[in-house]
């Protein structure tokens, strides 16, 4: 679906401020997890406001291949998805390779479930996913006795599911996906499975499992453990808006003079919104208000007014990884230099995001350079130009935001990459610009 060589194009022009109230599509990370947890439940779960992006569609399609069926129904306020399962026993062998598309989350988290299911599975992905590191799940799962093999550290991944034994994992990379895969395996293993990370990673799986009453213990911000559970209780959830999708509008409203927007019903999990603290440190005018909690996840509103920014040093902080490219766009419009360090993980995302962010900014007239573990950006003004997305949805949306403050037009080549996480991004952006 997401074709890195795609030549679909979009043109964005500078101009009007952003004004008004908006909600962003359901959180991609929580949508994946809600689908998998519903599949692990015994009974009928209802998911509202699910992300409609390509990645979550990949998880849905793979579940379908594994004989777990979901039904979508239109409602007055959108659509809802009902999923009926019998828990682990509902999973059945597909006989065909499981197509994970562009979605690392689908491939890694499902591997953690499938290693404990008594049948064979093969997981494959698109060109970009086939280059992403998989030893980070294969090695620790093998420590639990799993029969799982990668192809030279990448997909295809071959699994021969069977019995698992819990153990302690000391991970060398902090990763919400790897941690979740190990939790899903641990929920089928004998004894405790304990996971220790070098730094805190996003904790949606832990929060949702705790809210569902699973035997999970959070020992500290970097250590969690779980033991076997029969099946989870079915649940109903309204998925909060995606904090990482909101980041594009937060930066856009900050850098386009005269803007004021409110993003409603967005996920405010502290490990997902530390980018707001970085922007505030740069001078941004941002307020957040928590309004409710859903399956352990904080939800609320973010209000942003435009403000001048100054460069900062961004050391890879708790949870910020997907937002670094859009923070780099903010930095390109700031006064002074910004340095991003400790972010080597950017290189193994949907594209090598250190290289593609630098290339995007420089194509628009900025001065950015790549370092081993991040980038340096000299703030100033942008000219506009032609940007290649390299099939990366976040690079596409970053370029569209940068275009709003460029002197000329910006052409984005490979625009359809946005389908992966935010199919209606351009429509929502246009709506905020028309609300003047
Ligand atoms: C995700 C975790 C992060 C993030 C990805 C989604 C998740 O990846 O970049 O977009 O849902 O757990 P890592 O786990 O590789 O850091």
Residues noted as catalytic: 322
Whose Cα sits closest to atom 11 in ligand 1?
Answer: 29
Is the Cβ atom of 29 under 6 angstroms away from ligand 1? yes
**How many angstroms does the Cα of residue 201 sit away from the middle of ligand 1?**
8
**How many angstroms does the Cα of residue 175 sit away from the middle of ligand 1?**
6
pLDDT of residue 4: 47
Kindly state the DSSP code that residue 350 receives in the 8-state scheme: S
Is the Cβ atom of 262 under 6 angstroms away from ligand 1? no
d(CA 264, CA 217): 31
pLDDT of residue 436: 66
Whose Cα sits closest to atom 10 in ligand 1?
Answer: 322
Is the Cβ atom of 269 under 6 angstroms away from ligand 1? no
Whose Cα sits closest to atom 16 in ligand 1?
Answer: 175
Is the Cβ atom of 319 under 6 angstroms away from ligand 1? no
Whose Cα sits closest to atom 4 in ligand 1?
Answer: 322
Helices 135-143 and 176-186: angle between axes, nearest 10 degrees: 30
pLDDT at 333 over 50: yes
Parse the chain into domains and list their residue ranges.
Answer: 9-26+240-433, 28-237
- Per the rule left: phi > 0, alpha: psi between -120 and 50, beta: everything else, 181 is alpha
- Atom of ligand 1 lying closest to residue 173 CA: 16
Structure confidence by residue, pLDDT tens digits, 124-158: 999 999 999 999 999 999 999 999 999 999 999 99
Q: 9-26+240-433 and 28-237 share one CATH topology?
A: yes
Q: Which tokens go with 161? A: 């599911």
Is the Cβ atom of 206 under 6 angstroms away from ligand 1? no
d(CA 279, CA 286): 8
Which class is 9-26+240-433 in CATH? alpha beta
Whose Cα sits closest to atom 13 in ligand 1?
Answer: 175
Whose Cα sits closest to atom 15 in ligand 1?
Answer: 175
Is the Cβ atom of 245 under 6 angstroms away from ligand 1? no
**How many angstroms does the Cα of residue 308 sit away from the middle of ligand 1?**
30
CATH 3.65.10.10 fits 28-237, yes or no: yes
CA dihedral 277, 288, 353, 177 (to 10 degrees): 100
pTM of the complete model: 0.96
pLDDT of residue 391: 96
pLDDT of residue 290: 98
pLDDT at 3 over 50: no
At which residue do the structure tokens 């690079």 appear? 395
Q: Give the SS3 label for residue 69.
A: coil
Residues 265, 301 contacting (CB under 8 angstroms): yes
- Atom of ligand 1 lying closest to residue 175 CA: 14
**How many angstroms does the Cα of residue 214 sit away from the middle of ligand 1?**
22
Is the Cβ atom of 53 under 6 angstroms away from ligand 1? no
At which residue do the structure tokens 């996920």 appear? 267
Give residue 317's pLDDT band: very low, low, confident or very high (50, 70, 90). low
pLDDT at 61 over 70: yes
- Percentage of the chain beyond pLDDT 90 is 94
Is the Cβ atom of 322 under 6 angstroms away from ligand 1? yes
Give residue 5's pLDDT band: very low, low, confident or very high (50, 70, 90). low
**How many angstroms does the Cα of residue 413 sit away from the middle of ligand 1?**
25
pLDDT at 76 over 80: no
Is the Cβ atom of 177 under 6 angstroms away from ligand 1? yes
């Amino acid at each position: 679906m997401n074709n890195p060589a795609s030549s679909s194009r979009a043109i964005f022009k500078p101009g009007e401020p952003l004004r008004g109230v908006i909600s962003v599509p359901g959180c991609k990370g929580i949508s994946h997890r809600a689908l998998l947890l519903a599949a692990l439940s015994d009974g009928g779960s209802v998911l509202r406001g699910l992300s409609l992006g390509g990645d979550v569609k990949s998880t849905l399609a793979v579940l379908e291949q594994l004989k777990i069926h979901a039904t979508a129904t239109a409602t007055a306020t959108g659509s809802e998805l009902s999923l009926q399962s019998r828990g682990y026993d509902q999973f059945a062998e597909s006989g065909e390779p499981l197509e994970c598309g562009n979605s690392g989350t689908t491939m890694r988290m499902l591997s953690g479930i499938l290693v404990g299911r008594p049948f064979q599975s093969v997981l494959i992905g698109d060109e970009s996913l086939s280059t992403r590191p998989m030893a980070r799940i294969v090695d620790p799962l093998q420590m639990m006795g799993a029969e799982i093999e990668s192809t030279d550290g990448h997909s295809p991944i071959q699994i021969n599911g069977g019995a698992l034994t819990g153990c302690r994992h000391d991970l060398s990379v902090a990763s919400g996906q790897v941690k979740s895969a190990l939790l899903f395996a641990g929920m089928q293993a004998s004894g405790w499975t304990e996971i220790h990370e070098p730094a805190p990673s996003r904790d949606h799986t832990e929060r949702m499992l705790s809210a569902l009453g699973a035997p999970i213990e959070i020992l500290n911000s970097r250590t969690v453990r779980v033991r076997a559970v029969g099946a989870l209780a079915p649940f109903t959830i309204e998925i909060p808006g995606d904090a990482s999708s909101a980041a594009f509008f937060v930066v856009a409203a900050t850098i386009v003079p005269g803007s004021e927007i409110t993003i409603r019903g967005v996920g405010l999990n502290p490990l997902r919104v530390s980018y707001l603290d970085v922007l505030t440190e740069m001078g941004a005018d941002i307020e957040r208000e928590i309004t409710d909690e859903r399956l352990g996840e904080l939800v609320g509103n973010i209000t942003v007014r435009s403000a001048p920014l100054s460069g900062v040093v961004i050391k890879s902080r708790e949870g910020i990884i997907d937002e670094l490219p859009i923070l780099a766009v903010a930095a390109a419009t700031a006064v002074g230099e910004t340095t991003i360090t400790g972010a080597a993980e950017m290189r193994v995302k949907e594209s090598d995001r250190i290289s593609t962010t630098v290339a995007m900014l420089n194509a628009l007239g900025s001065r950015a350079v790549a370092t081993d573990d991040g980038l340096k950006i000299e703030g100033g003004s942008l000219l506009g130009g032609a940007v290649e997305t390299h099939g990366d949805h976040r690079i596409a949306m970053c370029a569209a935001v940068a275009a709003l403050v460029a002197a000329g037009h910006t052409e984005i080549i490979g625009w359809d990459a946005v389908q992966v996480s935010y199919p209606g991004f351009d429509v929502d952006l246009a709506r905020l610009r028309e609300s003047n």
